[in-house]
Amino acid sequence: MRQSTATYILIFVFLTAGIFIKNPFILNMVSLSALTVITVLGLNLLLGYAGQVSLGHAGFVAMGAYISSILSIKTGLNPWLSIAIASAITTVVAAFIGYPTLKLKGHYLAMATLAIGEIIYMLANNLITLTGGHQGLTGIPMLSIGNFTFDSEKKFYFFSWAVVLLFAFVSNRIINSHYGRALKAIHEKEAAAKSFGVNVHLYKVAIFSLSAFYAAISGGLYAFYIGFISPSSFSLLKSIDYIVMAFVGGIDSIFGSIITTVILGSLPNILTSLQDFWPIVNGGLLVVAAMFMTRGLGGLIKWKRNTF
């Protein structure tokens, strides 16, 4: 089977499951996982296709969440428009960070994004008049289309997985185009790729900005779904969670990432008593994946390739 087909089937399974799940706790948990999937899909593009690590994706999620919420609360702007503006700003900021750092060796981007993530985290904590500080921001309106408001777990469940479908579709289209081929060339043979006519630096900056865009959209939707945001949802540990999900799921595997994200996103909510062990589990997963299966779970499956 082609990986893209398997991915769409998987998403449709989640969508149909929504019809039968009654328990709001589970619906909520899997909806939140869906939002996380969007961020992880973006991170996948960066890891798997530009070969770079971002330690600050929680910061981009935070930018999406905070900017859109503040716009919507303080100026009364339409939530959808707020999310669009917040995501655009986040994308530009990412391009700004990526431009100098992506000319350098791999760990520069990791460190620069770590710094950005921390800066955004500290701003969220300290710009109290705008962000509410560590107590957070409340009164974020709900999303609605016309008279239809996403006011129940069930409604948002379908909506969130529909968004996953949209972003998985976009990722698939890019990966399976000439851009995907060029990105794979950059990942494997960067210097030679230039001589194939690939503008390596431009593509790296573009893919990094795109991945920040995914994260910002995810953050914006999160804010308007929960109605409340506080800095603790966007800490460095979240950025590392995203890396674990993307890397263990398979850096170039959308299918593997979705499964891993839903599992790793849900487990801490189910096994709450094991909370203190979670950093060790996450770290252990990263170590095992980095040492023994760099293609991740998705790499264990032999996919049929796209042919023309």
Partner 1 sequence: MNFAQGEFVMLGAMLQFYFLTLHIPIVLSFLLSSLIVGVIGYFIHAVFIRGTRNPQELALIVLTIGIAMILRGTSMLLFGKNAHAVKQFLPFDSITVFGLTFSSQYIVVFAGAIIFATLLFIYFNKTNSGKVMMASSNNPLACRLFGIDVEQVQAISFFISGMLGAIGGSIIAPISFAKYNMGLIMGLKGFSASVVGGFGNNVGAIAGGLIIGVSESLAAGYISSSYKDIVAFLIMILVLFVKPSGIFGAKDIERV
Partner 2 sequence: MEKKYILKIKNITKSFGGLKALDNISFNVNKKQIKALVGPNGAGKTTLFNIITRLYQPDRGSIEYDQKNLLSYMPHQLIRLGIARTFQNIQLIDALTVKENIALGLHAKIKSNPLSVVFGLNRKEEKEVFEKTERVAHFLKIESFLNKHPEQVPFGIKRLVEIGRALISQPKLLLLDEPAAGLNENETERLLNTLFRIWERGISILLIEHDMEFVANCSHSIVVMDSGKKIAEGLPSDVMNDYNVIKAYMGE
Residues that bind partner 1 (CB under 8 A): 47, 51-53, 55, 97, 99-101, 103-108, 110-112, 114-116, 118-119, 122-123, 125-126, 190-191, 236, 240, 243, 247, 251, 276-280, 282-287, 289-292, 294
The least distance separating partner 1 from the CB of residue 276, rounded to whole angstroms, comes to 6
Q: Does 173 bind partner 2 (CB under 8 A)?
A: yes
Comparing CB distances to partner 1, the nearer of 116 and 223 is: 116
**Tokens coding 196:** 């194939």
The secondary structure element, H or E, covering residue 109 is helix 106-126
Among residues 22, 74, 105, 305, the one that binds partner 2 under rule CB under 8 A: 305
Instruction: Kindly state the number of chain residues that form the binding site for partner 2, as judged by CB under 8 A.
Output: 26
The least distance separating partner 2 from the CB of residue 188, rounded to whole angstroms, comes to 5
Residues 243-282 that bind partner 2 (CB under 8 A): 252
Comparing CB distances to partner 1, the nearer of 86 and 116 is: 116
Could you give the angle at which helices 79-101 and 57-75 cross, rounded to 10 degrees? Answer: 140
Among residues 12, 25, 196, 277, the one that binds partner 2 under rule CB under 8 A: 196
Among residues 16, 177, 269, 294, the one that binds partner 2 under rule CB under 8 A: 177
From the list partner 2, partner 1, none, partner contacted by residue 185 (C-beta under 5 to 8 A by kind):
partner 2
**Which string of DSSP letters, residue by residue, matches 152-214?**
SHHHHHHHHHHHHHHHHHHHHHHHTSHHHHHHHHHHH-HHHHHHTT--HHHHHHHHHHHHHHH
Residues 6+ apart with CB under 8 A from 161: 11, 14, 15, 18, 31, 34
Q: Of 207, 281, 273, 270, which is closest to residue 237 (Cα–Cα)?
A: 281
Length of the chain: 308
At 216, is the secondary structure helix, strand, or coil? helix
Among residues 25, 181, 269, 280, the one that binds partner 2 under rule CB under 8 A: 181
> Is 41 within 8 Å of 220 (Cβ atoms)?
no
The least distance separating partner 1 from the CB of residue 81, rounded to whole angstroms, comes to 29
Comparing CB distances to partner 1, the nearer of 19 and 287 is: 287
Residues 6+ apart with CB under 8 A from 255: 3, 6, 7, 10, 298, 301
Give contact residues for partner 2 (rule: CB under 8 A): 170, 173-174, 177-179, 181-182, 184-185, 187-189, 191-192, 194-200, 252, 305, 307-308
